[in-house]
Amino acid sequence: MRTAAELAHLYEENKAVTGRYVHATARGHEAIQLAAAFHLRPTDYAAPYYRDDALLLGLGLTPYELMLQLMAKGNDPFSGGRTYYGHPALRRSGFPLIPHQSSATGMQAIPATGMAHGLKYLESQGLRSVGLETLNAELDLTSNATPNHSLSASYSAPATSPVVLCSIGDGAMTEGEVSEALQMAVLHQLPIIYLVQDNDWGISATSREMRAMDAYEFAAGFKGLHRLRVDGADFNNSYVVLAKAFEYVRRTRGPVLVHAKCPLLGHHTSGVRREWYRGDNLAAHVLLDPLPRLHQHLLHLGISEAELQQLTEEVRALVATDFQRAQAAPGPDPATFADHEFAPPAVTEEAGERTPNGAAKVLMVDAALHAVDEILSEFPEALLYGQDVGGELGGVFREAALLAKKYGDTRVFNTPIQEAYIVGSTAGMSAVGAKAIVEIQFADYIWPGLNQLVEELSKSCYLTNGQFPVQSLIRVPVGAYGGGGPYHSGSVESTLLTIRGIKVVYPSNAADMKGLLRAAFLDPNPVVLLEHKGLYWSKVPGTEDAKTIEPAAGYVIPLGKAAIAQAADPEQLRRGATCVVITYGMGVYWAKTASRAFAGQVEVLDLRTLNPLDFDAVEMAVRIHSKVLVLTEEPLMNSFAESLAGRIQRTCFWELDAPVFMLGAANLPAIALNVDLERQMLPTAEKVAAALDELLKF
């Protein structure tokens, strides 16, 4: 506790150095944090929040290591200088596993609950979670190697069953995502402790301004959530109450919320000074300082003042020495700034049989169903969940039909209407070794999940210096046809493609669906698989080719490889009378239908994956044909297609015989319900044909 206090004091005394980057400290919260640290075991999992440096000290991290992060040094053990102080990400023998999380103002509740969910699932299947027993053998953190976790070994529940600790400030409890996490924790009775540290402040806003009830009172609404209150400034009380919490979760495998009242003695962060807004409140909080309270208790136990003073001097010397060492430590190598956007892909070559002898043609929706079925059969750590995918329905498109009956409700199950949980929980699942396939029912519903996709999934690999890539497969039906209306017809790829650190895949036929879905599952990174509803059953005129021979089990296509969906005639190419349509999804079929009026003159390049983009294939096609149409179903303005056209114009300018043509939907905020209005807004084969005619004549 003295070490934590000395860190805060040193940071304030040296703010010209330490204030270069924003930080917060545990000052006032030390007692509850240390009590929590002493109950965590190496087999546990933790999601600290940004004020938890005392908790990290209690786990055994040194002041020097924390200071390396404070000053964004290259040897920062959590992120290599990439993220803020008090944002740990740790795989280390003898420590709980601490995956990446964002700035932890409520969003961390979902990935943390996902960890507990993954633990509960693996235990139910007789599998072991990814802990240090497997990680030490499988993960070489000095290389870029991706761990190949094998979870099929028999699981026997130890007496010290693992627990997840989610630490959070009371102000963050008002976040809607916290409610989603608590709902799932009680619905599935998950082994997690929510430690709520309540200091009555949220930056400069008081608790009276932010809430009608504290976290303990709020939690009463979640039936099945065990609740405890504690004086978080009293170490003895904190230790005893947390002992009860950990024992309860280890024994029952159900959730607990611990509400700890703490004083706030430091600044909210170094960037928001307490003197700007605290007034007389600070004097009141000083009276609750946990450090003098523990000091008096130790005197009462017979420890002398001289011993305590000696300890203080030793700590002060250690902190000062570590500060000098940390200042002298080298920064990160600027040449490594782009490392670890993604973990290396698991699939780098096409493999398996695409057109096995005797195989029948299959619809795209069935190819997806069969691919998931084969994955669930082969990988016991895999599970599938989302709205309406379990039970009898098996998805609103029947894309998961009968899987729940085949694999059971613990592997294939329905979730509440909680897109944030569906997306964000996969980060926690990945951390413990479960491999989630999840579904967003329609692309128009993905927006509540974007916070988790951006903050928790996309940044994890990069901000942990490659320690915590997130394996996550998110299936999203997209696209318009037949009067789906404004909330069931959206195309969202351009929005997704502004999120760095995720992959976006868009198959256009059954064979590609099966090969790309499996590759997306095997990829150690977050992958969003966009599936056009109008191609699922090949009912839309012109989409008959989306139905293909079904590839054999195990067939994979590497992400980031485009394919020629239709080749131009060599004689037309020799005459210089061809063009290429660069597209994906439904655009493939608009282009193929339109091209019938231009016999042999139109090549169609199906991108298949939008990130990573096969720009080599794009450039090659442009240089061969010299005339290009970029075709999309999205509104064109500020879209991925418009960006791609600009890039082509920049890199292939001298090979072009015409400006890069573009065609997309009308620049309107939604797809209208009426089918005639829908047709007017969207590209059609007729509109594509008109564009091709103009392009070929240019």
Over the stretch 548-587, which tens digit does the pLDDT of each residue have? 999 999 999 999 999 999 999 999 999 999 999 999 999 9
The answer as to whether 340 is a domain residue is no
In our burial notation (b when 16+ CB lie closer than 10 A, e otherwise), range 320-335 reads: eebbeebeebeebeee
Report the 10 Å Cβ neighbour count for 503.
Answer: 23
State how far the Cα of 428 lies from the Cα of 119, in Å rounded to an integer.
9
**Across 8-12, 210-214, 333-337, least confident range:** 210-214
DSSP symbol at 173: G
Q: Tell me, what's the pLDDT at 145?
A: 35
Q: What is the pLDDT, as a whole number, of residue 274?
A: 82
CATH code where residue 523 lies: 3.40.50.970
**Cα-Cα-Cα-Cα dihedral sign, residues 250, 251, 254, 257:** negative
Mean pLDDT, rounded, for 619-637: 97
Q: Are 89 and 69 in contact (CB under 8 A)?
A: no
Sheet of 472-478, strand order? 412-414, 382-386, 435-439, 472-478, 526-532, 503-505, 609-611
Non-local (6+) Cβ contacts of 236 within 8 A are: 297
* d(C-alpha 264, C-alpha 270), whole Å: 13
Q: Per the domain annotation, does 153 fall within a domain?
A: no
664: confidence class by pLDDT, cuts 50, 70, 90: very high
Contacts by 615-618 with C-beta closer than 8 Å and gap 24+?
A: 615/647, 617/561, 617/562, 618/562, 618/582, 618/644, 618/648
- List the single range of 131-145, 171-185, 430-444 with lowest mean pLDDT: 131-145
Residue 245 is part of which domain span?
1-124+160-334
- Return the structure tokens found at 427: 């980060």
Mark whether 611 and 494 lie in a shared domain: no
Model pTM? 0.93
State how far Cα 600 lies from the chain centre: 44
DSSP 3-state assignment of 282?
A: helix
CB of 647 within 8 A of CB of 599?
no
Stretch 176-201: mean pLDDT? 95
- Give me the number of domains the chain comprises: 3
pLDDT at 395: 67
Nearest CA among 382, 355, 371 for reference residue 515: 371
Q: Compute how many other C-beta atoms are within 10 angstroms of the C-beta atom of residue 160.
A: 12
Q: Which pLDDT band, with edges at 50, 70 and 90, does 309 fall under?
A: very high
CATH code at position 578: 3.40.50.920
User: Same structural domain for residues 309 and 416?
Assistant: no
Q: Which of 525, 549, 573 is the last residue of a domain?
A: 549
pLDDT of residue 89: 96
pLDDT at 467: 96
Give a yes or no: residue 355 inside a domain: no
φ, ψ of residue 389 to 5 degrees: the values are: -85, -20
Together in a domain, 435 and 484: yes
Whether 151 is in a domain gets the answer no
The pLDDT assigned to 394 comes to 67
* 155 pLDDT higher than 60: no
Lowest mean pLDDT among 91-105, 145-159, 362-376: 145-159
Please give the pLDDT value at position 491: 95
By residue count, the chain amounts to 698
Question: Could you give the CA distance from residue 309 to residue 445 in angstroms, rounded to a whole number?
Answer: 60
Question: Is the pLDDT score of 113 beyond 60?
Answer: yes
Are 177 and 200 found together in one domain? yes
| Active-site pick, 117, 285, 370, 488 | 488
488 assigned to active site = yes
In the chain, the percentage of residues whose pLDDT exceeds 90 is: 85
pLDDT-derived band at 606 (thresholds 50, 70, 90) equals very high
Question: What's 269's DSSP letter?
Answer: B
In a domain, residue 117? The reply is: yes
The reply to whether 318 and 382 lie within a common domain is: no
Residue 147 belongs to a domain = no
The reported pLDDT for the residue numbered 396 is 67
Mean pLDDT in the chain? Answer: 92
Query: Do 395 and 521 reside in the same domain of the chain?
Result: yes
- Asked if the structure places residue 350 within a domain, the reply is no
Final residue in a domain of this structure, among 523, 549, 575 = 549
Q: Say whether pLDDT at 137 is over 50.
A: no
Taking only the tens place, the pLDDT of each residue in 475-512 is: 999 999 989 999 999 999 999 999 999 999 999 999 99
DSSP 3-state of 164: strand
Mean pLDDT (whole number) for 351-360:
96
Q: In terms of domains, do 617 and 517 share one?
A: no
**Is 136 among the domain residues?**
no
Q: Provide mean pLDDT across the span 285-292.
A: 94
Contact (CB, 8 A) for 266 and 28: yes
Among candidate residues 549, 581, 606, the one where a domain is terminated: 549
DSSP string, 237-261: HHHHHHHHHHHHHHHH---EEEEEE
pLDDT category at 458 given cuts 50, 70, 90 is very high
> Which pLDDT score is estimated for 434?
97
- Cβ contact 69:57 at 8 Å: no
Residue pointed to by tokens 């909330």: 487
**CA of residue 569 relative to chain centroid, distance:** 45
